Structure 1
Amino acid sequence: MSKRRYLTAAIASATSALVMAGSATAAPTDVSVMAIKQVASGLKQAWAVDFLPDGKAIFTQKDAKTVSTLDKSGKVTKVLDVPGVSITKEAGLLGIAVSPKFAADQTVFIYFTTGSDNRIAKFKLGTTTITPIVTGIPRGADFHHGGRIKFGPDGFLYAGTGDGQNGANAQNKNSLGGKILRVTDSGAAAPGNPFNSRVYSYGHRNVQGLAWVNGQLYNSEIGASKVDELNKIEAGKNYGWPTCEGSCGTAGMTNPVKTWPTSDNTPSGLAFYKGSLFMASLKGGTYKLNTSGSGGKVYTNLGRTRDEVAGPDGQLWVVTPGGIYNADGS
C-alpha cells in the first residue's frame, strides 16, 4: 500500500577536503526537506524506469530478469521475462527506454547482460519476441557493465557502457566498451556520429546516468578508487579513462565538470527535473545539483538509490533496489 511520509535529509558531518589526483571535492552539505511517496515495494533489484504514453511506469528488475508495469494505484504487472540474462554483482537486466514513437510502433528497448556480452534489444509490448539490435558490448566477470539507455531530444537512442573491466576498451574506438553510444532504433550508427560508428564519446569507465539540460548531454560515471564524475558530454570527446581518473592535464582529454570521492558517491541514474540535476547514489541518497555539480544530498533515508526519472505526472521518480518512489523534488 502506498504510504506518504516525509523524509528529512540528515545534515552531513563536516568532512576534510581530499587532495588527490582527480581534484575530488569534499562531500556536500545535505539540502532540503522533501516529500516522497512509495508507489512500489518488495522489488528484486529494481534498476531503471521509463513511462508509457498512458502514464504507466515500466521498469526492470536486474535480478528478477523481468520487465513490469506500475500503475497509479501501485499495481505491479509483469509483462516480459527476459531469457538468457546473466546475473552477477552488477550484471543482469539493466536499462529500459520507451520508443518516442510508441503510439505507432509499441516498442520498448532494454539493455542486459548475457553470458558473453552486454546487448541492447527491443520488443513490442504485449509480445515475447526480443530482437537484439546491438551486441558485443564487453562484459566483465562481475563489474563495469554500464547499462543506462535513453532516447535523446534528437530521437536517437543513447547507451552508456562500461569498459568490461578492461581499461584499454575505453580508449579503443573499435570497442563498444567504455563509451556512450548513439544509435537508431534498429541499432545502426546514428547519422552524424563523430567516427562514422556507433561511438558518440569515449574514454569512459562505467557510465551510469544520462540526462539532457536544454539539449546538452551530461553523464554520471563511477570511478575506480579516487573520484566519481559528472561530465558534460560532447560528440567525439575523450573523457580520459584509464589515463585519467577525474581531472588531469593530458592533451586531448576532457575533464569532468565535478568530482566526488568514491567513498561518498558511487553515482547511478541521472535526471533533469525542475531546473536541477538529480543523481542517484549507491552510497545512499540522491544528489540535487546544478550543471556545475554544486549541491547536496536529498532522500538520504532511502538508502541506495539506483535511478532518477522525471515522470509525466510532474513528479520525480526515484528507484531503489527494493522499491519505487515519487517526489515533488522542489
Structure 2
Amino acid sequence: MSAALAVTALLLTAGCSSDGGGSPGNGASTSSGGSGTSTGSAPSRQATAQTPPAKGTVKVLHTVTEGLKSPWGLAPLPDGSLLVSSRDDGTITRITEATGKKTELGTVSGVSAAGEGGLLGIALSPDYASDHMIYAYFTTASDNRIARMLYDPKKPAGEQLGAPDTVFRGIPKGFIHNGGRIAFGPDGMLYAGTGESGQRGLAQDKKSLGGKILRLTPDGDPAPGNPFPDSPVYTYGHRNVQGLAWDPEQRLFASEFGQDTWDELNAIKPGDDYGWPNAEGKGDDPKYHNPITQWHTDDASPSGIAYAEGSIWMAGLKGRRLWRIPLDGVTTSAAPQAFLTGEYGRLRTVVSAGGDKLWLMTSNTDGRGTPKPGDDRILEIQVS
C-alpha cells in the first residue's frame, strides 16, 4: 500500500508546479525580472494611486521566530503577535512578536493531513474584537472545509482553541491541489481559493466548488451580489489558487499554480473564467481572462501574496524567492523583480505588517524542502 501511494504521488506531481519541492529555477536574478517572467500586455488604465517605481527594494529587518513545523497560514493579531497554522500537525500557535516565544493554542479536530492537504489558511473574524473567532480552511477525511473556533487566551496553553464550528463544507479534496487560502475582503465577506483536487474538469464546472474562488458571508452562505444566483462561486477555471490580496481600491488579486508551463498572477473579476484546463497562462481566446503576469514554473510555484507600496508581493515555493509586481491599476507597470532568491528556501506566506513592512514565512521543513532543525521561520521585512 505504501509503495503504491508513493508511486501515485510521483505520477500526480511529475511536471507539476505545485506544492512540491525541487531545485530552484535559474531564469531570474535576485533583483530583476529574468527570462522566465512574462508580463501582461493588456492596455493600462488610469491608476487612482501613483504608479510605483520600476525598481524596488527588500530589507530583512529581523527573524521573528524559527523552529516552526510545516507552517502554512499566518494571521496577525491586533496586539502585534502572530498566529501560525501547522499543516501536518493541525495545530495553531501564537508567536509573540517581540520575543519570538511560541504558545500552542490547541489542535483543530478533524484535520486529515496528507499530500498537500491538512490545516491550511487561517484568518481572523472581521468582528474579532468582540467575538474572538479564528477561521480555518482544512482537509478532513472526506473534503476540504472552513470552520471557525473561539480563541480564549485565558485558558491554559494547548486548551485555548475551541471546537470547530463548520461554516462551509464539501470542497473537493485530493492528494494535490487543495487550495486553502482564506481572507476577509474589504466588504466583510470571506473569500476562499480552492483547487481542482487533480480532477481537471471540476475547474470548468460551475456547480463544483473545486478550482474556484468562493465568496461567502461570515456564516458560510453565498455572499450577496455573487455573479451566479444562490452560488458561492465568484470566479472559476482555476487550477489551484494559493494567494489572495486587495489593493487600496479594493481590487482583488490571486496567485495560482500552473502545471508545467506558466504560473499566474490574476486580477479577479466576478464571474470570469480563468481558463484551466483549457488555457494555462496568456492566450488568444477571449472567453478566458488572461493573467496580468506569468512565470515559468521553476521560477515561482506561487503561494501567498500581499499588497504594499504599490505592488503585489508574491512568495515562491519552488522558485525560492519573493517577487515584486508593480501595479498600474490591474496591469503591471514594469517587469516583476525577484528578491531573496535561494536565501531562505521555499517561501510560503506573506502578509502585511502595516505600511512598508511585511511578514514573510518559509516552508522548508514540511517534507518537501531540505529539512533542517529550526529552519522554518518568520521574517519581518521592509519593502519599497
**What TM-score does the superposition give when structure 2 sets the normalisation length?**
0.77
SS in 2 for 1:190: coil
Paired residue type of 2:204: Q
Does residue 148 of structure 1 match 2:181?
yes
Residue matched to 1:287: 323
SS in structure 1 opposite 2:195? coil
Change (3 A) 1:47 1:176: same
Counterpart-to-counterpart distance in 2, 1:13 and 1:54: 35
Letter in 1 for 2:187: D
Taking a change above 3 Å as real, the CA distance of residues 295 and 158 of structure 1, as seen in their structure-2 partners, is same
RMSD between aligned residues: 2.3
Q: Which ranges of structure 1 fall in alignment gaps of 5 or more residues?
A: 1-8, 24-28
The structure-2 alpha-carbon separation of the partners of 1:48 and 1:253, relative to structure 1 and needing over 3 Å to count, comes to: same
Asked if the contact 2:30/2:339 (under 8 Å) is kept, the reply is: no
Aligned residue among 138, 142, 162 for 1:112 = 138
SS in 2 for 1:187: coil
Q: In structure 2, what is the equivalent of residue 190 of structure 1?
A: 223
Mapped pair 1:325 → 2:374 = no
Q: Which amino acid aligns with 2:94?
A: T
- Residue of structure 1 in register with 2:241 after alignment: 207
Aligned-partner Cα distance in 2 for 1:71–1:59: 11
When the two structures are aligned, how many residues end up with a matched partner? Answer: 314
Counterparts of 2:382 and 2:126, CA distance in 1: 25
| Secondary structure, counterpart of 1:42 in structure 2 | strand
Change (3 A) 1:180 1:14: closer
Query: Do 1:209 and 1:270's aligned partners in 2 also have CA atoms closer than 8 Å?
Result: yes
Cα displacement (A) at 1:35: 2.5
1:259 is matched with which residue?
294
Give 2:338's match in structure 1, choosing from 297, 307, 311.
297
Displacement of 1:135: 0.7
For the residue of structure 1 that corresponds to 2:274, the secondary structure is: coil
Q: What corresponds to 1:6 in structure 2?
A: none
Is the contact made by 2:242 and 2:256 (CA closer than 8 Å) also made in structure 1?
Answer: yes
Contact 2:63–2:379 (CA under 8 A) maintained in structure 1: yes
Mark the CA change 1:69 to 1:132 in structure 2 (over 3 Å): closer, same or farther. Answer: same
Aligned residue number for residue 99 of structure 1: 125
The one-letter amino acid paired with 2:314 is M
8 Å contact from structure 2 (residues 135, 149) kept in 1:
yes
Deviation at 1:299, TM superposition (A): 2.3
2:327 aligned with 1:273: no
SS in 2 for 1:225: coil
Aligned amino acid, residue 51 of structure 1: P
Q: Residue deviations 1:236-283, cap 9 Å, x none?
A: 011000110111222421111111111211000000012221100002
Letter paired with 1:309? V
Give the whole-Å Cα distance in 1 for the aligned partners of 2:356 and 2:106: 27
- Displacement of 1:51 in angstroms is 1.6
Question: How far is 1:17 from its partner?
Answer: 6.4
Residues in 2 aligned to 1:17 and 1:329: alpha-carbon distance in whole angstroms: 23
267, 270, 274: which one aligns with 1:235: 270
Query: 1:158 touches 1:182 (CA, 8 Å); kept in 2?
Result: yes
The structure with higher relative contact order (CA 8 Å, sep 6+) is 2
1:306 maps to which of 335, 338, 348? 348
Partners of 1:237 and 1:295 in 2: how far apart?
Answer: 25
Aligned residue type for 2:326: N
User: Matched residue of 2:64: which SS?
Assistant: strand
- CA gap 1:75/1:238 in 2 versus in 1, 3 angstroms: same
1:31, 1:295 within 8 Å by CA — same for their partners in 2? Answer: no
Query: Separation in 1 of the partners of 2:303 and 2:223?
Result: 25
Distance 2:101 2:37 in 1: 45
Aligned-partner Cα distance in 2 for 1:69–1:51 = 9
Q: Please, which moves more after superposition, 178-187 or 50-59? A: 50-59
Query: What residue in structure 1 maps to residue 172 of structure 2?
Result: 138
Q: 1:132 & 1:149 partners in 2: Cα distance?
A: 14
Counterpart residue type for residue 240 of structure 2: N
Look up the match of 2:69.
44
Q: 1 CA distance for matches of 2:170 and 2:227?
A: 20
Q: Is the 8 A contact 1:48 1:94 kept in 2?
A: yes
2:283 alignment partner in structure 1: 248
